[in-house]
Amino acid sequence: MEIKLPTYFKYTVILLGLILLIYALQQFKAVLMPLAFGLLFALLLLPLTRDLEHKLRFPRPLAIFTSILLVIVILSLVVWFLSMQLVSLTSELDSIGKNMQKLILKGQAFFVTNFGIAPPNKSELIQNAIGGLQDFTTTFLGSTISITTGAITILTLVPIFVFLLLYYRDHLEQFMFKFVAKDKRSGVIQTVTNIQHVVQSYISGLMIVIVVVALLNSAGLLILGVKYAVFFGVFASILTIIPYIGILIGASLPALFTLATTGNLLDAVLVVIVFMFVQFLEGNFITPFVVGSKVSLNPFAAILALLVGGEIWGAAGMILSIPMIAMMKVIFDVYEPLQPIGFLMADMDELKPKKKGRVRNWFEEIVNGIWRGKKDVND
């Protein structure tokens, strides 16, 4: 006999389940966060591992180890470059501090001349600024040590999880089938394949976008004559991993550095304009062309996922939020009771029928003409 529960009771149970899920994610952060990163990297390295196994006849453990080693080498080179640039940047701190004092004095003179606001005692102001800088430095170093310790833990566990997930992937697939009826297994396989394609398209496309944006950022800063242009360009491009917020941080740091080193507000404004132009290209041309519509989320769903991920797991949660919610959307689109949520998360531009522009029509006409010419020759 089926027991029918009131609607309000069902939604209450769902809400309590979400609260318990968020609590569990926060309590078991030390294990679940590396596992989530391991899952993403495992999905990303799966095609390479399969190619090494089938085409080059590598044993599975050797193929997995080679794939992980390749990622570690690339990431190590990036970290080495950024750390070397950062060490050189710290040598500029004394001159930056002196320039900041000059800028403060100029600002005081401006307010006195134009608004008649008398500045406080100069020595007291400088002492307060130095004290605030020392407090900031102490806090920053403490946070850096804490983040570094956590990063070392994550970097130790993630390769282990990646190796195990790839090595036991067949066993995990059979385990998943234990919960699914035989007549529905083909649908489950298709859903898992879609999730894999979404994650691979997002991460691989994101890597390409980071490289292109790094080149554009660095070129723009080099044209303006900004010191450490390559460092700031690469650093800002890496921050695009964090949607919407990353570009703001990436543009603010070189702008403030330029203002502190040159003392010219116009130079800092030009730096911001360069990043705004690159962001315009990235959002309207680069990312749609490279990533396409594989992760078709509207900005509201993306920002909400970003905030929730940051609240649960901090910066790591913000990085994981977009691919995770993209995976969830694939499941929502397949599971009928949750299809309205998948529709709510979808990008409206992807739902509308698209009209072909003149450039696209012209391009398709050229491609079709070439194809018809080849076909006629073959015939």
Digit-coded pLDDT (tens) for 333-365:
877 778 888 888 887 665 555 554 454 455 455
Q: Work out the mean pLDDT of the chain and round it to a whole number.
A: 77
- pLDDT given for residue 319 in this prediction: 81
Provide the token pair at 270: 């030009």
Q: How many CA atoms does the CB half-sphere of 206 hold within 13 Å?
A: 20
The model carries a pTM of: 0.71
H helices within 119-179, ranges in order? 122-167, 169-177
Nearest to 319 by CA among 298, 333, 305, 339: 305
Length of the chain: 379
Cα 164 to Cα 34: distance, rounded to the nearest angstrom: 13
> pLDDT band for position 140 (50/70/90)?
very low
* Cross-strand pairs, 346: 297
pLDDT top residue among 276 and 112: 276
Most distant CA pair in the chain, distance: 90
Average pLDDT over residues 118-146: 51
The more confident residue out of 66 and 102 is 66
Task: Give Cα 243 distance to the centre of its chain.
Answer: 6
Top mean pLDDT of 40-44, 118-122, 135-139 is at 40-44
**What pLDDT, on a 0 to 100 scale, did the predictor assign at position 360?**
47
**Which token pair is 170?**
């067949």
> Which is more confident, 24 or 360?
24
pLDDT reported for residue 168? 93
Q: Tokens 């008649």 map to which residue?
A: 116
Check pLDDT > 60 for residue 368: no
CA-closest candidate to residue 118, choices 126, 109, 131: 109
**118 Cβ neighbours under 8 A, 6+ residues apart:** 112
Dist. CA 169–CA 33, nearest whole Å: 20
> Is the separation of the CB atoms in 43 and 199 below 8 Å?
yes
Residue 304 token pair: 């909400």
Q: What is the pLDDT of residues 171-221, one digit of tens each?
A: 888 888 888 777 777 777 887 787 787 777 777 777 888 889 999 999 999
SS3 297: strand
CA distance 57 to 50: 10
**Whole-number pLDDT of residue 145:** 46
Window from 58-62, 70-74, 162-166, 257-261 with minimum mean pLDDT: 257-261
pLDDT band at residue 372 under the 50/70/90 scheme: low
- Average of per-residue pLDDT across 48-71: 92
| Nearest by Cα to 316 from 31, 36, 114, 24 | 36
- How far apart (Å, rounded) are the C-alpha atoms in residues 82 and 174? 43
- 34: its two tokens: 């590396």
CA atoms within 13 A on the CB side of 322: 24
Q: How far apart are CA 316 and CA 248, in angstroms?
A: 18
**What token pair was written down for 192?**
């898992």
Partners of 297 in the β-ladder? 346
